[in-house]
Structure 1
């Protein structure tokens, strides 16, 4: 049995990024700049964004937080996103989800410049990911793959059960695990709220991701 020490791997990655940032800035390149858009006062969202700001500080990134009241209009939010799209000092940004019910999430994510869409939610990046073209990948699926790679766990031919079909985690990780590369090549079953005999599928699986 392989026990994965996620905290240690996280620290290793932060140290590697920090070293790379120092090497780049020493050569005269600009300091990477990551921004986040936060709408409203959702507690978990604030915690998540704050953790990203702290991570930026650890690795030497510049960070910016753009906070807006929950009553901001969809049109105004898209205008604000366009300003960030056109800000050459900002290399990438995230729109923290969920958004207020009054705002169409799809319209907002589609307004993000794909070249700055570090969450990988824009249809262009999502499509590239689906067919195996290098692109931004949603964070949690990317993290899962990174754990497998760093622990040298091959899923070649393994039966993988993914429980949940969200566009953020379940669906992208099911696509990525089935792709042909060194650590994937898995046979993937994507289960959801209408799946029958989930317990049998779980018992028949080598790997379960939920």
Structure 2
């Protein structure tokens, strides 16, 4: 029977395990602080920021937030970043993407203090990751590693195909999985939009990671028997384009009221028939990304305050 890897359950356990480390820091007068920066009023970004603030409240991390007008100059955003770099109560922060078109996101990342860069995107932190001395592992790749560990899947000696070459998931995950480490030592193939015969690459893999942002690009015919499938994609699709009224179930009617449903980069039902283990969407990788942001914030506080803690 195919194992459904429950990201909600794993993330909940990580949050529980972080509680002791947070209290150790708090007892030393150094309660971890995480800030979010939002430039503009993108509804999805606002939702993500709200979720991260709730996560902080649940585990005892101090939450801070900075709003910057979407029409403001880049300098105003840079000033907010400079303030956070100097704020001793903020141990880590993120600048929520996307930023407005008139702002260079790469320049934004370069201005973040690397020791407060809990996304792991600053060039210094990227370089340390590639060199095998990561200060902060990017949240989604690290979350994927935790999911594999929880499912009892050891990457060592496995063939891994990653579909997607983003700076956020594909590239850092590939670097992590090839490293000489307990959760590495895999042989990794990175695919993208110009890969010839994608199905041949995914069918030959022991582990398939889909992180390309194309709804249900990978179906069961592209999965090898017994492979482990990690679906990073979260895509909104129009319900009316997917189902006729005659085929709708009661749960589908709920989706119809919203006008959309969430699907991954993997066609779940057909892939489930071939995979030995698979993550669902939603409830798979997404909760892990948020949990690992908390993890990185606690680690950042430990480093800055020079207080040793046990991290899960």
Q: TM-score range, shorter-chain basis?
A: over 0.9
CA-CA distance at 1:2 after TM superposition? 4.2
2:18 aligned with 1:10? no
- String of CA shifts for 1:64-115, please: whole Å, max 9, x gaps: 1101111121122111100110111111100111111110011100000001
Alignment of 1:74-113 (within 5 A): 74-113=74-113
The gaps in structure 1 that reach 5 residues or longer are none
The CA distance in 1 between the partners of 2:166 and 2:112, in whole Å, is 20
- String of CA shifts for 1:38-67, please: whole Å, max 9, x gaps: 111112211111111011001001001101
| Residues 155 and 183 in structure 2, CA contact (< 8 A), matched pair in contact too | yes
- Give secondary structure in 1 for the equivalent of 2:41: coil
Match of 2:120 in 1: 120
The CA distance in 1 between the partners of 2:3 and 2:130, in whole Å, is 29
Query: Structure 1 length normalisation: TM-score?
Result: 0.95
The gaps in structure 2 that reach 5 residues or longer are 211-312
Bigger CA radius of gyration: 2
The CA distance in 2 between the partners of 1:28 and 1:132, in whole Å, is 30
CA RMSD of aligned residues (A): 1.2
- String of CA shifts for 1:131-154, please: whole Å, max 9, x gaps: 110311211111101112233320
Alignment of 1:1-210 (within 5 A): 1-25=2-26, 27-210=27-210
Classify 1:2/1:156 alpha carbon distance in 2 versus 1 (closer, same or farther; 3 Å). Answer: farther
| Residues 162 and 191 in structure 2, CA contact (< 8 A), matched pair in contact too | yes
- Give secondary structure in 2 for the equivalent of 1:23: helix
| Residues 92 and 118 in structure 2, CA contact (< 8 A), matched pair in contact too | yes
Runs of 4+ in 1 over 6 A off after TM superposition: none
